[in-house]
Amino acid sequence: MKKSFLFILVTLACWMILAIFRVPFVESETIQDKGLLYLKNLSISELASLEVTSVSKTQERMADADAAIYVITSEDIRRSGLTSIPELLRMVPGLQVAHIDSNKWAISSRGFNGWYADKLLVLIDGRSVYTPLFSGVNWDIQDTLLDDIERIEVIRGPGATLWGANAVNGVINIITKRAQETQGGLLKAGGGNLEQGFGGLRYGGKIGTVGWYRVYAKYFNRDAFKTKDGHDAKGEWDMGRAGFRADLEPSVHDSFTLQGDIYSGNTHDYFKDLPSQKSPFNDDVKTDLDGGNILGRWHRHLSDTSALTFQVYYDRTERRSIYIKETRDNFDLDFQHSFHVFKRHNIIWGLEYRLTHDNIPTSSVFIFDPKSRTDHLYSGFVQDQISIIKGRLDLTLGTKLEHNDYSGFEIQPSVRLRFKPDKYQTFWAAVSRAVRTPSRAEHDMNFVLRRFEIGPSKNILLLRGNRDFDSEKLIAYELGYRIVPQKRFSFDIATFYNVYHDLRTTAPGPPESGDELFHEQNVKVIPVNIINRYHEDVYGIEVTGTVQVTPWWKASASYSWLKLNLHTKRTVMNLEVSEGSVPRNQFSLKSYMDLPHNLQLDTLLFYVDGMPDMHIPGYTRLDLRLGWNPMKNLSISLKLENLLDNQHQEYRSIGNLAASEVPRSFYGKITWHF
């Protein structure tokens, strides 16, 4: 697949270069005029008026949303200088983002963080990117050209009524720009000590008089982090990606979108004392990553109060290392219809079908039974937003009914109340039920933790899935308040109390024969079984404020406090479900300054409390970006990261993975719009 990917990459690059020289002079002038908008900051009132879709699946002003929502805008992305989606998520209050090594992150909302965090649903343009293998996200393959992202909407708290299982603690919805907003060309390149080299090329044009398109290609190569004692932690990462998007509007009522991506790359990880067929050993493990997706969407505007949308996508992923090989195909159909009834009821309902097929061959570490499996998911939802007092008081009732092949039927209702005493203020409250359904690994996996011999017996410590493992359940209570009293100031506060039941843990089982499973003689298995046992309460508060200090300086700050109460004795293998495994306090500060001579000075400051159960002290990270725009469509920037220390650890190493620390780094970048 790599040869075909490189061929596509080169072909797209050559095609775009040829297309550049065919752009008429008049179109080029239009592109340059749009370059002024590219450098424009959104005012606070404009930001509050941004239309978001993740909360209700319909467009509404962010200031009016009855949920804890935060939006990372395209301007935030540009001025942060960051180069990956996980790093951008550090700006979200209440979200825990921790680097494990150069190519892995632990990302979650309101607790339960880890490499395989499983309670946060992530979508890219309506395509779910969580993997049914462990009900989480492989962050090393979630990417696009960051300049093409319109916004990232992040909901802290349940979104299961609309989005389904796994939207337990939050929803991240990454929305890219329409093709008509990315006309003309873009060329970017950069590099530094950790970001050793990266670049991207994009070109957009018109399709007759009713459509627009864009194509892009990008590549990056990142170096490994260091261990605490300064040795190489073997976390190199390189990836190439290409894609396209086309938007058609053949009539005032209909719009069509077709888009797709293809990628290929690899990561490296250094593991210590891995269990092999003979004895534990150390190894530099390379994982090859390949995949692609294609999505189509039709939107029909029926009237001023009614619309329907039909979406279909196909997604294929391949991950190959000496310890696990996974090939997965996902196919999804989604239908949605919204309409008004009796002027007071805004109803939205929808149906979804998803098929996922995987193949996971047996290795020296992983044994899945069965090796190949096809699963089906059926779901439907309905939500009614009732206007009790027009423009003042709204009540939203909704529920999602879902059937999966692991736990059967699941119901996920919610009730939301919104009160607006005036146009500047919004009070909201919600009660929701959400579930996290079992994953393929929890159901069918056998994972070799350790091999050792005692006399003639071969002993294997085995983490084993459970066919009776049930869904994890949450009842969430939320309160929030938001105010935008003037163009220069905004304030947002959200509080929550979450009650979890049937959380995952492990329990040892009696020794048994493993001759049949491992096809060997004299094998004794010591099982560690995955079970439902934990009960936990989590509560906290999240605060965000933004102020336009002067016309040339905007700043925002956020603070979050989180407390966990575990009502069941935890085990060593479930360290993430403990009070000392999450930072109790987090603080961030974001500052954008427009200086004379087209200079920009942008600052990101993060403080994260220590996690004593993981033996990780608190840390403060300071990032600076200095940008210069010598011409309308030319931008040059220098990014400095982690300026306050040489390196620091952000998360515990997972299993046998060698511990690594985030180093101080720098890189330069040049971006040209033409």
As a whole number, mean pLDDT of residues 279-306 equals 87
Mean pLDDT of the chain: 88
- pLDDT more than 90, % of the chain: 68
Per-residue pLDDT at 231 exceeds 80: no
Domains and CATH numbers, the chain: 2-673 (2.40.170.20)
pLDDT higher than 90, residue 516: no
Residue with the larger pLDDT of the pair 282 and 9:
282
Flag whether pLDDT at 24 surpasses 50: no
The three-point CA angle 110-477-51 to 5° equals 75
CA distances from 397 to 56, 414, 433, 494 (A): 11, 6, 12, 20
Q: What is the pLDDT of residue 654?
A: 63
Tell whether the torsion through CA atoms of 636, 642, 645 and 648 is positive or negative. negative
Highest mean pLDDT among 105-114, 493-502, 518-527, 566-575: 493-502
pLDDT tens-digit map of 455-464:
777 888 999 9
Distance CA 318, CA 323 (A): 14
Rounded Cα distance between 594 and 606, Å, is 22
387 or 39: which carries more pLDDT confidence? 387
Q: Are 607 and 590 in contact (CB under 8 A)?
A: no
Give the chain's count of helices (H) and strands (E): 8, 39
**What tokens appear for 98 in the block?**
């921790």
Torsion of CA 175, 176, 177, 179, to 10 degrees: -130
Question: Using the 8-state DSSP alphabet, how is residue 616 labeled?
Answer: B
Most confident of the following: 18-27, 647-656, 657-666: 657-666
Got the DSSP string for 135-203? TEE-GGG----GGGEEEEEEEES--HHHH-TT-SSEEEEEEEPPGGGS-EEEEEEEEESSEEEEEEEEE
pLDDT in tens, 327-350: 999 999 999 999 999 889 999 999
Read off the pLDDT of each residue in 28-42 and give the average, rounded to a whole number.
Answer: 43
Instruction: Flag whether pLDDT at 575 surpasses 60.
Output: no
**Cα angle, residue 232 at apex, residues 141 and 235 outer, rounded to 5°:** 5
**pLDDT beyond 80 at 322:** yes
For residue range 169-220, list pLDDT tens digits in order: 999 999 999 999 999 999 999 999 999 999 999 999 999 999 999 999 999 9
pLDDT, position 546: 95
Strands (E), 304-371: 306-320, 325-341, 345-359, 366-368
Residue 314 has pLDDT above 80, yes or no: yes
Phi/psi for 320 (5° steps) reads -135, 120
- Give the SS3 label for residue 660: coil
The residue that leads in pLDDT, 240 or 226, is 240
CB 246 within 8 A of CB 255: no
